[in-house]
Structure 1
């Protein structure tokens, strides 16, 4: 039963991530259609992430006592409506508005799916169940996101991307309603207990780490299609294939990270982060499409995708008394990182061009590594006191 719940949670994240990140592959088309710059089109991603960051903890606390099946079904219903309306090519202001509406329930869905899958598992199996759920992020980058991008390029119509998003949301909604058992919350934790983790310096340090690490990812990944097009000289079909490659190696990386996390959370997090820092330099110097570019993107996907999982595990470990709220804070700070990372890169793109984004990624990731050292020092001080 627990594996079944984890796999349905994974499917839910596939639907959610397809909606959130599906615009990445079509940003150039959207910018052209609406007659705006690529950095302004990037607001469709950063605004979504900003709403998640601000609303996440409050929405998760508010919803913490509701039946988990009901929460997941309602959330996917809203994602479905978003995909349908977006596919109708509304004015840009309306597209922006309808895009951010499901962002209010985004952290609720992730927290609920993870909590449902790990509720009764021991520590070792809990990381495995979490890895299955979070694996939906990598799977979406293999399947739904590149498929949506490919169809948009094939028919030269970005609306097909949103049609795919709506179709996936519908499948997930039906799956939740028909296969997921009712999951009432046995004991709702008090707001005081949940908010208490915000007084822990170690937890705050881990939250800032999550902000910086996820932010580093999206300084470049947000403009993935535009980067491959202008720097690596790829056409739309090749970009779709590179998204697929990125996702395939990402799922493999997520599997490896899930295994390693069950043994050592901090060390695993540091390994993937340091490796991500190292990949920024060859990415910056990559040129027109070649065999080396192919391998570079494969390695990039392997190293980057697990960072979502490692960041959450790194934070939740510091707040075992309120895992769902800690998870929502992780999601909020991560999405704040997405918003800030995307926006900062947008500014650099406007001033220095798209090739500057890996350098911004290097700076964010380097700051995240420093924050890990700060957290370690705080932990040492707590032990001594």
Structure 2
């Protein structure tokens, strides 16, 4: 039933708006609190690190509870976070409030995906998952750039009002649109944990980690990069995030169709962007027109990364969808944390201009992990 997938997508928009809505306003937050941009980046990296460290355990713990209640609790916490953050609290309190919903983010994503495919046909599971994951691209085209835009004409606090509003809308949709969904048969922890012994799953997890690290080495500082490396003002940056997101919606739809045909080739195709984009950004120089074109290509190749990562990992452990996806979310967010930290370190020691080369470095490592999995599968080490 596509209805469940669309409701899951709406909640995902709220989740992504909260997690990534700060990307476009990090320079303003740094200015307000009189801190460096790399320290402001902790608002993103700390959020991601909490997900990485607690995601699988929280998902296993929540796997026996009514799925509707789990989704409601998760989104409620995201709504509260936005409200408190909008009152410019001290930076330490802003950090604390930011990381609280991170404990339930992977739980929400894993549960929403499970709900989406529970009533669907086995043959279109990837398509239903792509609907849920399209929440990432839709947030990138609507709420995330709007958060940046509203901060550029008002103040950064207003972006948090908007984040909270989206979560409240999603909360209502889940409450009204989903029936009670108690878990009829809870899988044992042991049956789910055994996928951690599978070599192909381990290689897939490493690929996910390096791929997300690659993208976020630069994307975490999207606004700062375009400000300083491409001489764009805050309003122009919000327009670039809009372009990024519009193309991202198309990319997620395209990736969903492609994944149904061949998961490995689709993942490799979009992953190639981690090599291509740094080179294109370098050669676009100060040419604004060329930079806009590169940002469009960047948006297309980056946007399905979470969908590709989850599908690629689940394909090596199809009987443990929720747990495998929670691990995909956790290691993806560990990648966000490492990418943001590595990018921040490079900015602090060198310049934001160099961050795309980190993307290329980690992208090569991700492609190598795909090669490792390929070799393992050929030798029947599954």
8 A contact 2:141–2:245 mirrored in 1 = yes
Equivalent in the alignment of 2:31: 32
8 A contact 1:139–1:251 mirrored in 2 = yes
Q: Partners of 1:232 and 1:288 in 2: how far apart?
A: 6
8 A contact 1:233–1:289 mirrored in 2 = no
1:262 alignment partner, SS class: helix
1:106/1:251 CA distance change after superposition, 3 Å: same
Residue deviations 1:241-261 (CA, integer Å, cap 9, x gap): 100000000111111110000
1:378 alignment partner, SS class: helix
1:88 alignment partner, SS class: coil
1:315 alignment partner, SS class: helix
Q: Partners of 1:304 and 1:136 in 2: how far apart?
A: 14
1:98 alignment partner, SS class: helix
Equivalent in the alignment of 1:326: 324
Equivalent in the alignment of 2:238: 240
Gaps of 5+ in 2: none
Equivalent in the alignment of 2:102: 103
2:11 alignment partner, SS class: helix
Q: Partners of 1:252 and 1:280 in 2: how far apart?
A: 22
8 A contact 1:284–1:356 mirrored in 2 = no
Which is further off, 119-128 or 43-52? 119-128
8 A contact 1:228–1:239 mirrored in 2 = yes
Equivalent in the alignment of 1:354: 352
1:186 to 184, 197, 202: 184
8 A contact 1:194–1:325 mirrored in 2 = yes
RMSD over equivalenced CA pairs, Å: 1.1
Equivalent in the alignment of 2:11: 12
Aligned length: 382
Equivalent in the alignment of 1:195: 193
8 A contact 1:284–1:359 mirrored in 2 = no
Equivalent in the alignment of 2:301: 303
8 A contact 2:214–2:274 mirrored in 1 = no
Residue deviations 1:168-207 (CA, integer Å, cap 9, x gap): 1111111111122211112111000011111111101101
Equivalent in the alignment of 1:50: 49
2:271 to 266, 270, 273: 273
Residue deviations 1:61-115 (CA, integer Å, cap 9, x gap): 0000111110111111100110000000000000000000000000000000001
Residue deviations 1:30-76 (CA, integer Å, cap 9, x gap): 00011111011000000000000000000000000111110111111
8 A contact 2:214–2:361 mirrored in 1 = yes
Q: Partners of 1:253 and 1:152 in 2: how far apart?
A: 27
Shift of 1:378: 1.3
Equivalent in the alignment of 1:153: 152
Equivalent in the alignment of 2:259: 261
Equivalent in the alignment of 1:61: 60
2:232 alignment partner, SS class: coil
8 A contact 2:130–2:253 mirrored in 1 = yes
Q: Partners of 2:274 and 2:114 in 1: how far apart?
A: 28
2:230 alignment partner, SS class: coil
8 A contact 2:78–2:167 mirrored in 1 = yes
8 A contact 2:273–2:298 mirrored in 1 = no
**TM-score, length-normalised on structure 2?**
0.98
Shift of 1:288: 3.0
Tell me whether 1:209 sits opposite 2:191 in the alignment. no
Shift of 1:275: 3.3
Equivalent in the alignment of 1:170: 168
Residue deviations 1:137-186 (CA, integer Å, cap 9, x gap): 0000000111111011011x110111110111111111111122211112
Shift of 1:293: 1.1
Equivalent in the alignment of 2:133: 134
**TM-score, length-normalised on structure 1?**
0.97
2:361 to 360, 363, 381: 363
Shift of 1:289: 5.2
Residue deviations 1:304-324 (CA, integer Å, cap 9, x gap): 001111111000011112110
Q: Partners of 1:331 and 1:313 in 2: how far apart?
A: 11
Q: Partners of 1:260 and 1:163 in 2: how far apart?
A: 37
1:82 alignment partner, SS class: helix
Which is further off, 119-128 or 73-82? 119-128
Q: Partners of 1:236 and 1:171 in 2: how far apart?
A: 28
